[in-house]
Structure 1
Amino acid sequence: MTDSLPQLGNKVGIIAGGGTLPFAVADSLIARGVTPVLFALKGACDAARVAAYQHHWLGLGAFGKLLRLLRREDCRDLVFIGSLVRPSLTELRLDWGALRVLPAVLAAYRGGDDHLLTGVGHLFERYGFRLLGLKDVATDLLMPEGCLTRAAADAVVEADIAKGRAVLAALSPFDIGQGCVVIEGHIVAVEDTGGTDELLRRVAQLRANRRISAKPGRGVLVKAPKAGQDLRFDLPALGPKTIEGLIAAQLGGVAVVAGHTVVAEPQTMIEAADKAGLFVIGLRS
C-alpha cells in the first residue's frame, strides 16, 4: 500500500549494481511520480539498459565524486540495489573523498557483507543522506506470503523448510550467506560468498556425481535474511535465473521469507516455475 510508504523527495538516487533489479526499482519510482537517478557502478551495472534512465557512471571507491553528484542532482534519498562482487581493498580506486573517510572504510571491511554494507550506509548518513530499503520505495518488488505456483509443498517439504530456516538462523551471526538446500531432512549445501547461483550449481554437481540419493524433484532452496540484518541492504533475491538453477539442481522448489525477499520479473519467474512443476512459496516472517 503506497499510503504507508515514507514521503520521498522529487528524486531518489539508486546506487545500481548488476542484474534487472535496479531498473525495476527505477520503474516503480517512476510509477509513483518520483524521478530515479541511477549511479551506475562500472563493471556491474548493465550499460545497455541504464542508458534509458537519467544516470551517472561511477567506479568503486569514487566516494567523493558520488557525494558531489548526489548533491548536484538533489538526491537526498538513496537506495542500494543490484548484484556486486565484493572487491578487495586493493582493487578499489579511492578518490580524495574516499581517502578522507578511509578509517571508516577499513572498519566496514572487517566483517561480512552485511557489516560492510551497513558501515557504508552509515557513511552516507553522516553526510546527510537518507538510506531507504525496498519496503520504503518499491513494495511491489517484495515477495508476498503464500504459494505462488500450481505446485505446492507436502509435509516432507514443509519439514525441510523448517529445518532450512533453523539452519539459516543458526548461521546468521557468522554473516556468510542467506540460503541453504535441504533434501528430505539432509542439509545438502549452504550459501557462501559465491551466492545462490553458485550454491545451486554445487547441488547440480552433487547430483551429477551421484552424491545425492534422493530422487529428482525432491528438496528445497530456503532463503532468509540474517537475524539482525539491516533490511535496507542485500535482501535475498529471487527471479527467473533462480528457477533455472533449481531445474539444473533437480530440486522441488524454493521458499523465501515474504516481505523480506526481492523478486525480479515475477510473472516470468512464476510461468517458468509452473512449466517446470516447481513450487515458489512466500513464508510468514
Structure 2
Amino acid sequence: MASRTSPEAAAHAERGALAVICGGGTFPLAVAEAARRAGREVVLFPVRGFADIPLEGWPHVWVPIGQFGRLKRELRRHGCRDVVLIGNVLRVRIRDIRFDWTTLTMLPRVFSMLRGGDDHLLKSVARIFEEAGFRLLGAHEVAPEILMPPGQLGAVAPTEGELGDIEVGRHALTVTGPLDIGQGLVVMSRHIVAMEAAEGTDLMLARIAELRRIGRITRPARCGALVKLPKAGQDRRLDMPSLGVRTVEGAARAGLAGIAVEAGGVIVADVAALVRAADEAGLFIYGLEPPTETKR
C-alpha cells in the first residue's frame, strides 16, 4: 500500500530546504530547530566572523561578507528558495571586505545601501535577495513560538509607577521610530535617561550601569524600565527586536526594575530561560499589547 504524505510535508517538499543565514547570537539556532520540528529541511549559512552557534548535526556552508555571488550559488545548489536572515551582523568597513565579482558589479548600490539607517540597509538587502529569485521569510513566520507572549511572564509584576514609566517609553518610541534611531530606551520616574542607537541594547544598559557608578544617575536600585518596540514601518522579516538572558542580566546590573516589550513584536529564543533569569534577578518581564493597527 502506498504511504500517504501529509499536506504539511508535501508543502515543505515543494518549497525545498529552508536557508537560515546566521549572524551572531542564539536566535539562528532557535529558528532552525523550530523549522526542523515543523518538518522543514534546513540548511545553515553561518556568516564568517559573526556566527557563533554549534553546527554539529546541521548541513551548513560558511559565507563571507561581500560574496553574494557565492551565496547565491550555494543557496541554489542546496535547493533553497526560502531564506531567513537572523542574528547580529555589525556594519563592516568597505576596505575590510573581499568582494566577489557579482558583488563588485553592485558596488554603487552597496555604497547607497550603507548611506542611511539600519532599516534602509536591511530593506535594500531584502530587495537584492528578492530580485535574485529568493523569498525572504521572517523568523517569526518560521518559528512563531519565539514571539513574546502578552502580559506578565515571571513572578514579579510591574507597579503602577513602573507601568507609567512603560507608557512614557512606549509613546517616545512611537515618535522616534520613523526616524530609524533605535528600538529601545530606558525610563526612570517618567524621565527618559537613555535611548538605544548604534551601540545596541546591551551596551546602552552598560552605559546606564556606568552612569550609576559615577553618580550621574542617583535614583535607587530597582527603578525604571527598559522598553523595546519594533520601529514603525520596519520590515519585520529582517529586523525584529530581540530579548534574551543577556539583556535581563544587563538590566539587573543597570539597576532597573524590569523590562517591557511588545507582545508579538519581539522575539525570545528561550522564554523559560528568560523568565528564570528575571525571577532570579527580581525583575519583571512584561509583554505589551501592540496598538490595534499593528496587530497581525
Is the shorter-chain TM-score for this pair beyond 0.5, marking a shared fold? yes
Per-residue Cα deviation, 1:145-186 (whole angstroms, up to 9, x for no partner) = 111011111111111111111111222232121100000111
C-alpha distance in 2 between matches for 1:14 and 1:114: 20
C-alpha distance in 1 between matches for 2:286 and 2:55: 31
Displacement of 1:89 after TM fit? 2.3
198, 201, 204: which one pairs with 1:199?
204
Q: Percent of pairs identical after alignment?
A: 46
Instruction: Specify the alignment match of 2:188 in structure 1.
Output: 183
Instruction: Specify the alignment match of 2:3 in structure 1.
Output: none
Instruction: Specify the alignment match of 1:239 in structure 2.
Output: 244
The secondary structure found in structure 1 opposite 2:103 is: helix
Instruction: Specify the alignment match of 1:25 in structure 2.
Output: 31
The root-mean-square deviation of aligned C-alpha atoms, in Å, is 1.5
C-alpha distance in 2 between matches for 1:169 and 1:92: 36
160, 163, 177: which one pairs with 1:158?
163
- Paired AA for residue 40 in structure 1: P
The secondary structure found in structure 2 opposite 1:213 is: coil
How many pairs does the alignment contain? 280
Instruction: Specify the alignment match of 1:173 in structure 2.
Output: 178
C-alpha distance in 1 between matches for 2:93 and 2:199: 15
Displacement of 1:277 after TM fit? 1.2
C-alpha distance in 1 between matches for 2:162 and 2:57: 43
The answer to whether the Cα contact below 8 Å between 1:81 and 1:233 also exists between their aligned partners in 2 is yes
C-alpha distance in 2 between matches for 1:156 and 1:92: 49
Displacement of 1:50 after TM fit? 2.0
1:259 correspondence with 2:273 = no
Per-residue Cα deviation, 1:50-76 (whole angstroms, up to 9, x for no partner) = 233110001100100000001101100
- Paired AA for residue 181 in structure 2: I
The answer to whether the Cα contact below 8 Å between 1:134 and 1:142 also exists between their aligned partners in 2 is no
1:223 correspondence with 2:228 = yes
1:99 correspondence with 2:104 = yes
4, 7, 20: which one pairs with 1:14?
20
Instruction: Specify the alignment match of 1:36 in structure 2.
Output: 42
C-alpha distance in 2 between matches for 1:72 and 1:197: 38
Displacement of 1:194 after TM fit? 0.8
- Paired AA for residue 27 in structure 2: L
C-alpha distance in 2 between matches for 1:117 and 1:90: 20
Instruction: Specify the alignment match of 2:294 in structure 1.
Output: none
Displacement of 1:108 after TM fit? 1.5
Displacement of 1:102 after TM fit? 2.4
1:129 correspondence with 2:138 = no
C-alpha distance in 1 between matches for 2:270 and 2:124: 30
Instruction: Specify the alignment match of 1:271 in structure 2.
Output: 276
Looking at CA atoms only, which structure, 1 or 2, has the larger radius of gyration? Answer: 2
Q: For structure 2, list consecutive stretches of 5 or more residues without a partner in the other structure.
A: 1-6, 291-296
Instruction: Specify the alignment match of 1:59 in structure 2.
Output: 64
Instruction: Specify the alignment match of 1:138 in structure 2.
Output: 143
Which stretches of structure 1, 4 residues or more, deviate above 6 A after TM superposition? none
- Paired AA for residue 43 in structure 1: G
The answer to whether the Cα contact below 8 Å between 2:148 and 2:267 also exists between their aligned partners in 1 is yes
Q: Judge which range, 57-66 or 261-270, deviates more.
A: 261-270
Instruction: Specify the alignment match of 2:4 in structure 1.
Output: none
State the TM-score, normalizing by the size of structure 1.
Answer: 0.95
C-alpha distance in 2 between matches for 1:192 and 1:226: 13
- Paired AA for residue 263 in structure 2: A
- Paired AA for residue 87 in structure 1: V
The 5 Å alignment of 1:61-76 reads 61-76=66-81
C-alpha distance in 1 between matches for 2:167 and 2:127: 34
